[in-house]
């Protein structure tokens, strides 16, 4: 059982956003919950915990010209998905992000994190 260590309130989005490795463009997973400090992914990959990754989060906010943001994030935990065999649920922490990307990320949290927080 994982102990809750998150500092920012996380919201269940209800709509998946794709997360890819920025360098290889390989799909890492789909964002399922989001907070200002990080997010949860459903993933076909079991990422190495405490390793940093350069990721790309694709989004669809109408007023933005750009359709993705790039940032460095760290896998904080990984566990097998109890429902879908051979998939994982990952906790990911934002490590660094350019100020212009932070503004967009905050907008994503505000736009898609409106549903009631889980647990």
pLDDT tens column, 50-107: 999 999 999 876 656 778 999 999 999 999 999 988 999 999 999 999 999 999 899 8
Residues 3-18 pLDDT 10s: 444 444 444 445 579 9
Position 43 scores a pLDDT of 95
Predicted confidence band of residue 1 (pLDDT cuts 50, 70, 90): very low
Q: What is the 3-state secondary structure (H, E, C) of the chain?
A: CCCCCCCCCCEEEEEEEEEEECCCCCEEEEEEEECCCEEEEEECCCCCCCCEEEEEEECCCCCCCCCEEEEEEEEEEEEECCCCCCCEEEEEEEEECCHHHHHHHHHHHHHHCCCCCCC
If one compares 111 and 50, the residue with the highest pLDDT of the two is 50
All domains of the chain, ordered by start, with CATH? 11-108 (2.40.10.220)
């Amino acid at each position: 059982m994982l102990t809750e260590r998150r500092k920012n309130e996380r919201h269940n989005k209800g709509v998946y956003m794709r997360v890819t490795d920025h360098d290889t463009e390989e799909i890492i997973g789909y964002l399922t919950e989001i907070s200002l400090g990080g997010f949860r992914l459903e993933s076909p990959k079991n990422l190495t915990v405490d390793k940093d990754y350069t990721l790309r989060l694709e989004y669809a906010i109408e007023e933005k010209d750009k359709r993705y943001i790039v940032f460095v994030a760290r896998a904080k935990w990984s566990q097998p998905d109890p429902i879908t065999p051979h998939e994982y649920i990952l906790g990911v922490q934002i490590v660094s992000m350019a100020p212009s990307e932070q503004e967009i990320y905050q907008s994503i949290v505000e736009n898609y994190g409106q549903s009631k927080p889980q647990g």
